[in-house]
Chains A and B, each alone.
Chain A
Amino acid sequence: MGHLIFRDSGKMKPVLFAILLFYLLMFPLWGESTIITKMELYDTVARMGESTWLNNGSGFLTVRFDQKNNKHVKSQLRITAASASYTGDFSFSIERAYVKFRFPYFRAVIGKAPSSWGEGLIFNAGNLLFADSGIQTNLMQQDFSGTAAWMTGITIPLSPFSYTELVSLPPDSIFLGIGASKAGGRIVSASGPVKIEAGYLYDGSADIHKTSISFQVNSLLNSYISAAAYFPAGSTFTKSLKSSLLITAGLYSMTNFGYSGTLFYRLETRIKPNGVWTQDDGIYLYSELSYAFQSGKALILRGFISPVDRSSVIVPGFSWNVFQGFTFTSLISLGTGSPGSTFAWTPESTAKSGFSLMAGVSVVY
């Protein structure tokens, strides 16, 4: 959604013209904005299916315009171009285009903006606005970016750690009527070591009422839990609760380790208590361990585990911020399951990879 994809090089001219026009239109903004360009280039070797090896070059270019010098108005335009040698496709997308402004008693946002409800990085049942990517998340990416959508929202602070937020999201397609809009809100409050969030969203496109509750507790352990249930209009409460209940939970820790090193650990789980505990449902785990040491170096270990079919994907790697704005990253993805399992070494689908090795760089300027 929001992407333009081209294969035919004959269509390059209008694209280049559009880019030129865009830059000319944006030029007057440059004096009042910070322009941040991030280029990520990767070379990946992957084993697809049983015996096919693939070597793919891919790149992402993100240009970001951040408004500056105004304490009360914040805006951002972020455009991303992506290309891959394997498919020959390239795409452009507007990742973010929003204005946030602050009045004395409330703050508002309008445009294509990111928003994160609930608690959790990979598994987050409380994120009613966007379904989390879950086990489809690409663990080979350097960072995990939040999802953005067109919205209008108002946030009203209640205390330093409490606020309420009301949002309205237009339909995903112009061909859908106003009845397909989404609207809802959440209330967030923190007291002592406990942070609580309750959310509600009506999704007009499916005529569903979505509800969630999340807790974060920071005492001996930093931990969180979110639960969500969806109620289609006219359905039985108990039946809908039972069939849709989704629980995600996690814990994390950030501590000093060794001489001037920082160890970060996160463990998350996604459970559908009344789901069918097969590959497509039931329970999954996400684990992440990273050790940052010696100015800009980090060792990374991430992975998904499917306890039901005892398969996992393990992603060890290394990143190094060598020079100003220049980071080298290398990651390996290794599926350990048997054929047919969620994270198989030899996936049945030729579109999936059981092993891949990626090395690349990112440059920010």
Chain B
Amino acid sequence: MVFFCIPLFVSALSPVEIITKLESNLVYGTSESTGRIIITDRFGKRQSSYLSYTRGKDTSMVEFTGKENAGQKILRIKDEIYLYYPDAEEVIRLRGSALKQSIIGSDMSYADIAGDKSLLDSYNAVLEGKESVKGIQCYRILLTAKKRNVSYQKQTMWIDSKHFIYVKINQRAKSGKVLKELTVRRFKTVSGHTIPVDILIKDMLKKNSSTEFLVDSFKLNPSIPDGTFNLQGLW
């Protein structure tokens, strides 16, 4: 009996290890992706599209390719963020906290596309148990903010225990009330990395409001043109 229990005990992961595995799954040498953001409200749907390049954990360039905001770019290198507006030919430099701003009025922030610091820098993690979500066995992790300057004081994450990718996230106020619910509807596996490619974000405080985040193409470790992650590459 003891013989069988030892491997079970050894394989049990701490919440910190689960979050670390989740984040390492979402960090790539380089990546190139295209996608769409579809915002739905009571007046209908509005769609924008983007092209994104990333390198490592904290370097990214996102260019919006939809007609309404064509050419707008976000360059991020570590804590340096530059927003480029092509019509005004203006570059706005921001500090890291600006990553929390909403993208083009959606329920997503720049951090959702461009990545952000580790969750463990901002939250304490507690493993609440294991649950099945849509038939996928998940770890249920409660994240409680260490600081006040985060977007959500609490988050509950359901993380696929096999592929270490989030399946569902409830973002909560300090009282525990759910503000936003993020559900992954489709995944794609590329070279051992499981990537969410169809995400639905519902704002629970607004009726008929949601954002769909769709990844149309994803390349892992592509060759990225020189100058992509340079300031002069914005123009």
Contact = CB atoms under 8 A, between A and B. Distances in A.
Interface of A: 34, 36, 64, 66, 71-72, 100, 102, 104, 107, 114-116, 121, 143-146, 155, 157, 160-163, 165, 188, 190, 195, 216, 218, 222, 252, 254-256, 259-260, 262, 292, 294-296, 321-325, 364-365
A286 to B, nearest CB: 14
A297 to B, nearest CB: 8
Contacts of A262: 101-102
A295 B93 contact: no
B92 interface: yes
Contacts of B46: 295-296, 321, 323-324
Nearest to A362: B68
B88 interface: yes
A146 B90 contact: yes
B87 A143 contact: yes
| Residue from B95, B98, B105, B229 with most neighbouring chain A CB atoms (10 Å) | B105
A163 B87 contact: no
B203 interface: yes
A3 B179 CA distance: 52
A86 B235 CA distance: 37
A102 B89 CA distance: 19
Contacts of A218: 93-95
Given A163-B232, A256-B151, A115 B89 contact: yes
Interface of B: 39, 41, 43-47, 65, 67-68, 70-71, 77, 80, 86-95, 97-98, 100-102, 105-107, 151, 179, 203, 205-206, 209, 225-227, 229-233, 235
A193 B94 CA distance: 10
Given A260-B107, A262-B102, A324-B44, A222 B227 contact: no
Contact of B225 (A36, A102, A222): A102
B38 to A, nearest CB: 10
Contacts of A188: 231-232
Given A218-B94, A295-B39, 11 more contacts: A107-B227, A116-B90, A145-B88, A165-B232, A216-B93, A218-B93, A259-B179, A294-B206, A296-B46, A324-B47, A324-B68
A157 B225 CA distance: 13
Nearest to B71: A66
| Residue from B41, B206, B232 with most neighbouring chain A CB atoms (10 Å) | B232
Nearest to A161: B231
Given A295-B106, A324-B46, A325-B67, A107 B93 contact: no
Contact of A254 (B65, B98, B230): B98
Contact of A365 (B67, B226, B227): B67
Contacts of A296: 39, 46, 105
Contacts of A114: 86, 89
A195 B88 contact: no
A190 B98 CA distance: 19
Contacts of B231: 160-163, 188, 190
Contacts of A155: 232, 235
A62 B235 CA distance: 21
Contact of B68 (A163, A190, A255, A325): A325
30 contacts: A66-B70, A102-B227, A116-B88, A116-B90, A121-B88, A145-B87, A145-B88, A146-B89, A157-B230, A157-B232, A157-B233, A160-B77, A161-B77, A161-B230, A195-B93, A216-B93, A218-B94, A252-B92, A255-B97, A256-B151, A260-B203, A262-B101, A295-B39, A295-B41, A295-B46, A295-B209, A296-B39, A322-B43, A324-B44, A365-B67
A160 B230 contact: yes
Contact of B67 (A162, A254, A364): A364
Contacts of B229: 160
| Residue from B70, B89, B203 with most neighbouring chain A CB atoms (10 Å) | B89
Contacts of A71: 225
Nearest to B77: A160
A256 B100 contact: yes
A104 B89 contact: no
